Structure 1
Amino acid sequence: MNERAGTPAQESDLIDVDALVAAYYDLKPDVGVPAQRVVFGTSGHRGSSLNTAFNENHIAATTQAIVEYRAGQGITGPLFIGADTHALSAPAYTTALEVLVANGVRVLVDEFDDYVPTPALSHAIIGYNRSHDDQADGIVVTPSHNPPSDGGFKYNPPHGGPADSDATSWIANRANEIIGAGMHNVKMSEPSAVETYDFRGAYVDDLANIIDMDAIKASGIRIGADPLGGASVGYWGAIAERYGLDLTVVNPTVDPTWRFMTLDWDGKIRMDPSSPSAMASVLTHKDAYDLLTGNDADADRHGIVTPDAGLMNPNHFLAVAIDYLYSHRDGWRADAAIGKTLVSSSMIDRVAGFLGRELWEVPVGFKWFVPGLIDGSVAFGGEESAGASFVRFDGSVWTTDKDGILLALLASEILAVTGKTPSQRYAELTEQFGQPAYARIDAVATPEQKAALSKLDGDAITATELAGEPIVAKLSNAPGNGAAIGGVKVVTENAWFAARPSGTEDVYKIYAESFKGADHLHQVQEEARAIVDQAIA
């Protein structure tokens, strides 16, 4: 933890917006330098223009590659495009439009020139494709919760969710080819002749088909919603007006420097609504509302704050959400599974068992939930990093990307219908199923060791016990879909750990949980490090 974590940002912490935007246009990437190549992670290509990692050539080449990819896939419908509030989003958005229009792509932009949250764009794609034969896709210009100096660029194919690795690998490779060849294959022109779409109106009006807005209104609960300077800023006011809620937008300020934020755990400005440090200024308002929520810059993540407990751990809220939804959604399929990533809390496993529902455990990445959300076979999909979505009252698909606005509204529905805050309900779950201790730590690893870990077979682990308990599973593939997890997960009756290499640093991440207390968790973490180090030595 940085010594300034949770304290207000100072002038020295702020970006120089003019310099950042100038670098976007002035610096030209060299794809011979690995750090300057287009690289799609789990949520698109991200980086800073100051490091020549997110610049005009990156976005022009990536957009041209998307044009070629969608043509190769026979995607002939419109492309929805939106952007968040990061300083680099506006120039990248303009660059993308110049390429799309020059290539004759039918483009739909926001009708009111508003910011577009990731879930609103996913919702738009799904809505169009439900009633048209030609299939639409989309681009979201956002680095999500990343610091103000970063830009991000994400492609969502016709299913509406994050593109899979086959698509992103093809797009990234083609973009790097285009940059390496001097950008000669890129078509660009003035961004004219674009159509408009009311992202906000379509999304807000449809909320009545997935959240019990009448119950929230009737309860009269006082709701505070903080967009954290992000793309949901115009949505919360529209939701309050449309449904007659006692809802206050706590801080409607949009500032690309995010000077109003408190610093995250590492001393950086980061719009993470699940971080107590980043949410410190929001938490000062917790006693003024019956429920207080936060979203990140593209509103695909949620933070839930209650007067009795403060900021909830994301794993805790996921468990409560699942417990509530599968008990209050009669229109869902009786066999609809519960989706979780393998590094999410085992409290979810215990709740699923009590509900008599199948648990569908997949690798890290929301893309794995997309097929299940589309056909209703997985009615809820959630990640430990405060990202989730679920299906409508009738079991049909809502979004196939994470929806932080939706999960924040669900917290209000839970309070309105049950009379209990989500944190109060979680306390009841711990009385029923036990109190887990959960944490993530990093361990130093060389690039060679990280590569070995990413390909590690669970059978290569020779240990038979973990923190005094027999090991019952050693996983290198997810139980739900059999996909490689890019690491390993080791499970006992009351504890588990998962180890995965970092994509950006010379460390690997150890996620661990124990239902036997904090001391046992610490023992699990220490033994996990020794087990993994031995396996990848």
Structure 2
Amino acid sequence: MAVHPHAGKTARPEDRINIGRLVSDYYLLNPDVNNVAQKVTFGTSGHRGTASKVSFNERHILAICQAVCDYRKQAGISGPLYLGKDTHALSEPAFSSAISVLIANGVNVVVQQDLGFTPTPVISRMIIDHNRKNSDLADGLIITPSHNPPSDGGIKYNPPHGGPAEGEITKQIESHANALIQASLVDVKQSDIASAMASSLLNKQDFIEQYVSQLGRVVDMAAIAKANIKLGVDPLGGSGIAYWPEIAKQYQLDLTVVNQVVDASFAFMPLDKDGKIRMDCSSPYAMAGLIAMKDDFDIAVGNDPDFDRHGIVTKTGGLMNPNHFLAVAIHYLMTHRNWPKTAKIGKTLVSSSMIDRVAKHINRPMSEVPVGFKWFVDGLKTGEYAFGGEESAGASFIEKDGSCWTTDKDGFVMTLLAAEILAVTGKDPHQYYQELAKELGEPCYGRKEAVASLEQKAVLTGLSPDDVKAQSLAGEPILQKLSHAPGNNAAIGGLKVTTENGWFAARPSGTEDIYKIYAESFISETHLEQIFTEAQTIVNDLFKQANV
């Protein structure tokens, strides 16, 4: 995809959303669930959409929250529900809609004490903390579309394990919510918002103090302070805005929040590669403002609006490729924490094979799973996994003593880990990565998209490895053809083909008429392009075989 001429530049007036119209559409437009584009659809991170396209409206939220309440009763979940929201424009009205349904259903709802913003990892931590001490299990909802554009809204459910809900749970919620909408919400219980806000069932708690005070369990905050690491932070207008000053205060850090603006239009953001406003902390275009400040700090970091992703900027290398930082984080943690030798490194199948090489080099077990952080949840909870990470800049890891920290992605601990690495080793993460690459090889990684019909996407989803007739890829013999992840034998919803020095994976998009090809080469950029070309040929041959 060509780079938009305004990519990396501050948003123009014509790029900004009309918040008033957006919120009006949230309340006034009613979805037709017979239209696929307007149904409740849970992807890897909940239901997302935008009010103007009738894909994220009040009826969606009322129905989803009622479906969650009904699921809680069925599952015997009787404890509190922790409710969070990010800074997107639609998050505020959706927050009120959610409270009105949850309270009407007799749910004990816990929110940030000032009704402020709450990051995804904080909700996960609150659930885990409660369930360690109580028999009445808690769960949570987070209202966020993550890094998506300002016009979008989103909601995701975290059951009592604290992480993203499994597919069988989200399918049940999704199906029930659509049935409720189809029946004109007659079975949805709802209080008026004034009564709900005054209810004794609505409890306010200081999430900030509780979360921040425990960070020393998972990151060596004392080492960061002792080394006087100068840390620059850009929350990108997100839900962690009030957390960073408290982190700096409690741990005596030299920390500067370089952008303190919270604006639901995100008009302060540089435009992303495609010319859209998108708070993607792994994008050099969206992070252009912080990258320009790299020489002012020892480490500069950014997060997306719900703080489940991280972006690391160093003086020596600028914005790090997320795969590179995952490799560094894993190597550092596995060699600087006294964790059991049996604790696994978790990676998704489209993450860099540099992680495989790191795991082999330090003789630690690695588990490769399908795309989606939900696959790490049980392992992080039990300590079977020490670390779980995705190529899209989302990861978390266990506490120093091996206890569970979060079962959802945590952008705070990943960014603070970058500062710890510099403090303890004297090398910033980019320098650390360069040393790894010198010893283990330098990969070239990329992702591309191609148009695909519903029938073609169905072919990719239902593939068998035997369907692939090719014996070689970009000049090397094919070693593996995978339709199921080797780490847990779960279906990957696509195909992965590997050779000694390269691989590609093809997966259909859940929301667009495209499929995505991820590829990597440990030989050269030219070899990577050859992998992409042959990967597309292999996929097109599969479509021909299926007559689609």
TM superposition score normalised by structure 2 = 0.97
Partner of 2:424: 417
Partner of 2:246: 238
Partner of 2:42: 40
Q: How does 1:221-300 map to 2 (within 5 A)?
A: 221-300=229-308
Structure 1 residue 490: Cα displacement: 0.2
CA distance in 2, matches of 1:430, 1:109: 45
Partner of 2:218: 210
CA distance in 1, matches of 2:543, 2:126: 45
Structure 1 residue 458: Cα displacement: 1.4
Structure 1 residue 112: Cα displacement: 2.5
Q: Is the 8 A contact 1:21 1:87 kept in 2?
A: yes
Structure 1 residue 507: Cα displacement: 1.5
For residue 323 of structure 1, give the secondary structure of its aligned residue in structure 2: helix
Structure 1 residue 360: Cα displacement: 0.3
Q: 179, 187, 206: which is aligned to 2:189?
A: 187
Q: Which moved further from structure 2: 182-191 or 67-76?
A: 182-191
Q: How does 1:255-404 map to 2 (within 5 A)?
A: 255-330=263-338, 332-404=339-411
Q: Which moved further from structure 2: 193-202 or 115-124?
A: 193-202
CA distance in 1, matches of 2:355, 2:27: 47
Question: Are 1:449 and 2:451 matched, yes or no?
Answer: no
Q: Is the 8 A contact 1:333 1:377 kept in 2?
A: no
For residue 214 of structure 2, give the secondary structure of its aligned residue in structure 1: helix
For residue 429 of structure 1, give the secondary structure of its aligned residue in structure 2: helix
RMSD over equivalenced CA pairs, Å: 0.7
Q: Which moved further from structure 2: 41-50 or 183-192?
A: 183-192
For residue 351 of structure 2, give the secondary structure of its aligned residue in structure 1: coil
Letter in 2 for 1:370: V
CA distance in 1, matches of 2:364, 2:514: 36
% identity of equivalent residues: 58
Letter in 2 for 1:206: Q
Letter in 2 for 1:102: A
Superposed CA offset, 1:65-118 (max 9, x none) = 000001000000010001000000010000000001111111111112220000
Structure 1 residue 199: Cα displacement: 1.3
CA distance in 1, matches of 2:174, 2:20: 28
For residue 323 of structure 2, give the secondary structure of its aligned residue in structure 1: helix
Partner of 1:513: 520
Structure 1 residue 464: Cα displacement: 0.5
Partner of 1:93: 95
Letter in 1 for 2:212: V
Gaps of 5+ in 1: none
Partner of 1:165: 167
Partner of 2:208: 200
CA distance in 1, matches of 2:92, 2:333: 38
Superposed CA offset, 1:503-523 (max 9, x none) = 222221000000001000000
CA distance in 2, matches of 1:58, 1:33: 13
Letter in 1 for 2:219: I
Superposed CA offset, 1:273-309 (max 9, x none) = 0001111112111110000000000000000000110
For residue 233 of structure 1, give the secondary structure of its aligned residue in structure 2: coil
Superposed CA offset, 1:125-184 (max 9, x none) = 000000001100000000000000000011100000000110101001101100100111
Partner of 1:65: 67
TM superposition score normalised by structure 1 = 0.99
Q: Is the 8 A contact 1:333 1:376 kept in 2?
A: no
Superposed CA offset, 1:312-352 (max 9, x none) = 0000000000000000111x222001000000000000000
Structure 1 residue 21: Cα displacement: 0.5
CA distance in 2, matches of 1:88, 1:238: 27
CA distance in 1, matches of 2:309, 2:391: 10
> Number of residue pairs matched?
536
Structure 1 residue 271: Cα displacement: 0.3
Q: Is the 8 A contact 1:144 1:152 kept in 2?
A: yes
Letter in 2 for 1:429: L
Which consecutive aligned stretches of 4+ in structure 1 deviate over 6 angstroms post-superposition? none
Superposed CA offset, 1:377-417 (max 9, x none) = 11000000000000000101000000011100000000000
CA distance in 2, matches of 1:197, 1:362: 36
